Structure 1
Amino acid sequence: MSQPEARFTIRSLFVTAAVTIAVTVIALQVSGRINHPGDQSDGPIGEFTAIHVTPGDEFRMSPKPSELHAACEQGFLAVASDADHEFRGILVDYKNRGVRCRPANQAAPSPATEAR
């Protein structure tokens, strides 16, 4: 018995796969299905969750620290990366309002002062 004849060569299969991928990417680009973000300076850099802590209550969190640290920048809380010193962003709430902070050496304002 003779061996079966190869219908397609490996080279033609690779070329077909490459052309198929290229045509798919072009079609997705033309139809607008591929999103290219423009200005990334305003984008979210992470998602944070606040844990309400009351005296005497226990809470659970990971024992490993994150690679971020907080700093007070011009009266607002900034989150910065430990690895990249240029990576820093101001923490805002769901309405895009900055979270206030005060430097450690500044005294806490009294409730009467804040009401003004």
Structure 2
Amino acid sequence: MSQPEARYSIRTLIIAVVATIVVTVITLEVNGRLLHNENKEDAELGTFTAIHLSPDGEDVRMSPKSSELHAVCEQGYLAIASDVDAAFRAILLDYKSRGVRCGDIHTYVSPATSNAQPAAPESPQ
């Protein structure tokens, strides 16, 4: 007996792992520990990052590959649409769940006026 004898075969161990995963998922589902969102409209579909574009023309670091999404203006709000699924369209929200506006509403503060103090409101007489 120079070689240690294997007590279990690899096939038995794989079957045991798969059976354990299946039993765990079924148990969690029966006990209500797995939560399923019924309202598909409020699902978070992705995370986006905003990159500040400076007027001095610094290079923006981003992937050279284009995403499969594009932006469209939908009823005055910025929407993200899929290039591969024509039915997919979602409104872009900020961190407080407010819609991001688009279209004719453009406000730009030039660097020369950004340091100026705002005018004091006039008091009613």
What TM-score, normalized by structure 2, do the two folds share? 0.64
Q: How many residues are aligned here?
A: 100
Q: Report the CA distance shift for 1:101/1:27 in structure 2 as closer, same or farther (over 3 A).
A: same
Q: Report the CA distance shift for 1:63/1:38 in structure 2 as closer, same or farther (over 3 A).
A: same
What does residue 68 of structure 1 align with? 69
Q: Report the CA distance shift for 1:20/1:62 in structure 2 as closer, same or farther (over 3 A).
A: closer
Query: Aligned partner of 1:97: which letter?
Result: R
Measured in 2, the distance between the counterparts of 1:110 and 1:52 equals 13
Query: Aligned partner of 1:85: which letter?
Result: A
Gaps of 5+ in 1: 1-6, 112-116
Q: CA RMSD in A?
A: 3.2
SS in 2 for 1:41: helix
Q: Report the CA distance shift for 1:19/1:48 in structure 2 as closer, same or farther (over 3 A).
A: closer
Q: Report the CA distance shift for 1:108/1:27 in structure 2 as closer, same or farther (over 3 A).
A: closer
What does residue 123 of structure 2 align with? none
Q: Report the CA distance shift for 1:36/1:57 in structure 2 as closer, same or farther (over 3 A).
A: same
What does residue 35 of structure 2 align with? 35
Gaps of 5+ in 2: 1-6, 110-125
Q: Which has the higher contact order (CA 8 A, sep 6+)?
A: 1
Q: Report the CA distance shift for 1:110/1:47 in structure 2 as closer, same or farther (over 3 A).
A: closer
Measured in 1, the distance between the counterparts of 2:107 and 2:62 equals 30
Q: Report the CA distance shift for 1:84/1:40 in structure 2 as closer, same or farther (over 3 A).
A: same
Measured in 1, the distance between the counterparts of 2:49 and 2:77 equals 18
Residue identity over aligned pairs, in percent, reads: 56
